[in-house]
Structure 1
Amino acid sequence: MQKTAEWQAEDPAALGMDAGKLSELGSEIISGYSNINGIVVARNGSIAYEQYFNGYGPDDVHHVASVTKSAISALIGIAINEGHIQSVDQKVLDFFPDYVLDAADTQKGDITIRHLLTMTAPYPFPDWQEPLDKMCMQPDWEKYILDMLGQNGSIGAFKYSTAGAHLLSIILTRSTGQNARAFAGERLFKPTGMRVIPDYGMDSFGFEELFGSKVRGWVQDPAGNSTGGWGLTMSPRDMARFGQLYLNRGKWGDRQVIPETWTVESTVLNPYGYGYLWWVREEDGVFAYSAMGDGGNAICCIPEKDMVVAIASAFMPNARDRWTLIKEHILPAVLD
């Protein structure tokens, strides 16, 4: 657990880590993971290693892509705890009373918050071929997602969907009266000392504004909902804080920011390797759960080592797996 509300750096040896091995990380990143812009390794609640590349520094923020999904998961847990949402088993359509259900939509009414969190709701697109660009061209993202929800396949089968994560963000707004950015500012970012994101608004909804060089703050859809599946910007230190919060089972200092039970439920290993918008794995006896985003953005939490590895990256297709870096060059630096 972190020792104070401030984010402290300590000598690696005091944190049970080999400083020599950690010092080799920089050259490994430059040679094999060139799109990494920043990395923070925290152990026992303090920073053991921090390094920046490609002209970036500790105060720079990065678009963390699908790491956003894990933040949405945390906010849903907070909203349930506060009574805005009944439970993970509440029906999705409860939040959209004006939506007209087609008689042929036999599955749609049975889909729950849990199905969206675990990526087990059906959609018409083939697995891993979601037409996200099509959603982004719609004037009404909510209707587009609701129309395709429940189509093709059966409830309970894993199908990764960024649109489903965005629907959770819309549900958060409908149930709390605040978009995810505003709700997170009060309930998640401020209590943990993370940067509170201002409302930048959107100048337009082209590729650069939604995904590219003009992404700033937290991207919004045309209705003002924070994007649920991508679009959040964070510094590596704040990424590490978020991971540390989960290692602390939702507690920061003396404040329970996320319900403890939620952090546990969210990261249970299952056959799909996916919890509540967190990737979960066990390999060679090491259990880890990660928030992962395109291009190699990652927050990897390894509870038994009391360790968080936060990696901010520039987008590139087919980026090298960050788990390889962690397994081969960071875990071997642990001394105890």
Structure 2
Amino acid sequence: MYQYQKIKMNNNPISNFEATIKKEYANIAGIAIRKDGHLIYETYFDGYTKDDVLHIASVTKSIISILIGMAIDKGYINNVEQKVLEFFPDYTVKRGEKTIQKVTIKDLLTMTAPYKYKSEPYTKVYSSDDWVKATLDLLGGRGHIGEFKYSTVGAHILSGVLTNATGQSVKDFAIESLFKPLDITAPQHTFLRNKEEHFAFLKDQYVTGWVVDPSGVNTAGWGLTLTPRDMAKIGQLYLNSGVWGNSQILSSKWIEDSTKEKSRFGELSYGYMWWIVDDDCYAALGDGGNVIFNNPNKKMVVTIASRFIPRAKDRIELIRKHILPLFG
């Protein structure tokens, strides 16, 4: 199909597009595009191949959102209004702390939970022995529930919720519920023992696995590696309203709820860990330029996997300006 598209669309537009990627978006490692349910284009740069996984950064959050929906579908979680602390019965709330007791799963999914920090304390959380507890200790404070506050460390609480609700590791639940049905090769657990290994995972060209904290809980805000093809399958699952093959593996209601505005950050709309980027398009976005972009009207999924660089160029602009006109 990929070769057919290259011939059909003439070499010039494709060559020009790929030259633009190399010149203006040099950290892109791979692009995969699906339309009408089929993989119509994929290409790789800088020595990467279709078999190489990349760290998808905050796209991991959207995968966690999917797993929360699946846990609700399977009855492990009642609904998004369930209080977070119900899943941590051994957690001791500090005297005077009232807000944390009101925080729900929905508040975490929509980034409207309050925290006791101005800037994210990555080092404090990721150098602790228990990242879930360290993050719970930061939850609440004087902030108000309902105000948008994007939090990567805060997302880790959802991994704790999944672990305690299902009785499985997040990875094992993901294998059973998502990866195996979509024929995605499951990543191995990756332990980061010090700051050097942490930064290496973020910056090295080739990394693999799914990061786990010292307690064996997989990260929710970052730390998962997938291929562009894997990402495209996940996007396709959403376009299919949760159906894969002959099986409904995720409820269509969850997909609809996830991709409708639940909170706002300035002019940007946010669902359940998915960004609503247009009236009819939505995306999972990760630092460095990692994207799962869905255009339901065109029945199209665009996925981009990238090596990390600070202040990467806007991938949504790339998709709108170059990819949709060429492939849509």
The question of whether the paired residues in 2 share the 8 Å contact of 1:63 and 1:233 is answered with yes
2:193 is the counterpart of 1:204 = yes
TM-score scaled by length of structure 1: 0.90
The letter for the 1-side match of 2:292 is I
1:55 to 33, 43, 47: 47
The question of whether the paired residues in 2 share the 8 Å contact of 1:37 and 1:313 is answered with yes
State the distance in 2 between where 1:183 and 1:9 align: 33
The letter for the 2-side match of 1:33 is Y
State the distance in 1 between where 2:291 and 2:10 align: 22
> Which digits, 9 at most, give the CA deviation of each residue in 1:176-213, with x for residues without a partner?
11111111111101101111223x45262434245343
1:304 to 297, 305, 314: 297
> Which digits, 9 at most, give the CA deviation of each residue in 1:4-53, with x for residues without a partner?
xxxx65744999x7875344321110011000000011111112221100
**Gap runs ≥5 in structure 2:** none
User: Is the partner of 1:148 in helix, strand or coil?
Assistant: coil
2:152 is the counterpart of 1:162 = yes
Identity fraction in percent: 48
Structure 1 match to 2:224:
232
Correspondences of 1:195-274 after superposition (within 5 Å): 195-198=185-188, 200-202=189-191, 204-209=193-198, 211-213=202-204, 215-270=207-262, 272=264, 273-274=269-270
User: Is the partner of 2:285 in helix, strand or coil?
Assistant: strand
2:275 is the counterpart of 1:279 = yes
The letter for the 1-side match of 2:317 is T
Structure 1 match to 2:100:
108
State the distance in 1 between where 2:263 and 2:164 align: 32
State the distance in 2 between where 1:203 and 1:296 align: 23
The letter for the 1-side match of 2:96 is A
State the distance in 1 between where 2:81 and 2:66 align: 16
State the distance in 2 between where 1:186 and 1:69 align: 18
Going from structure 1 to structure 2, the CA distance change for 1:298 and 1:18 (only over 3 Å counts) comes to farther
Count, aligned residues? 321
Moved more, 296-305 or 41-50: 41-50
The question of whether the paired residues in 2 share the 8 Å contact of 1:22 and 1:330 is answered with no
> Which digits, 9 at most, give the CA deviation of each residue in 1:121-142, with x for residues without a partner?
001223xx31222211111212
Show structure 1 runs of 4+ deviating over 3 A.
Answer: 8-15, 17-23, 209-215
Moved more, 326-335 or 66-75: 326-335
Deviation, 1:225, is 0.3
The question of whether the paired residues in 1 share the 8 Å contact of 2:192 and 2:211 is answered with no
Deviation, 1:152, is 3.3
**Gap runs ≥5 in structure 1:** 1-7
CA RMSD of the aligned region, Å? 2.1
Structure 2 match to 1:85:
77
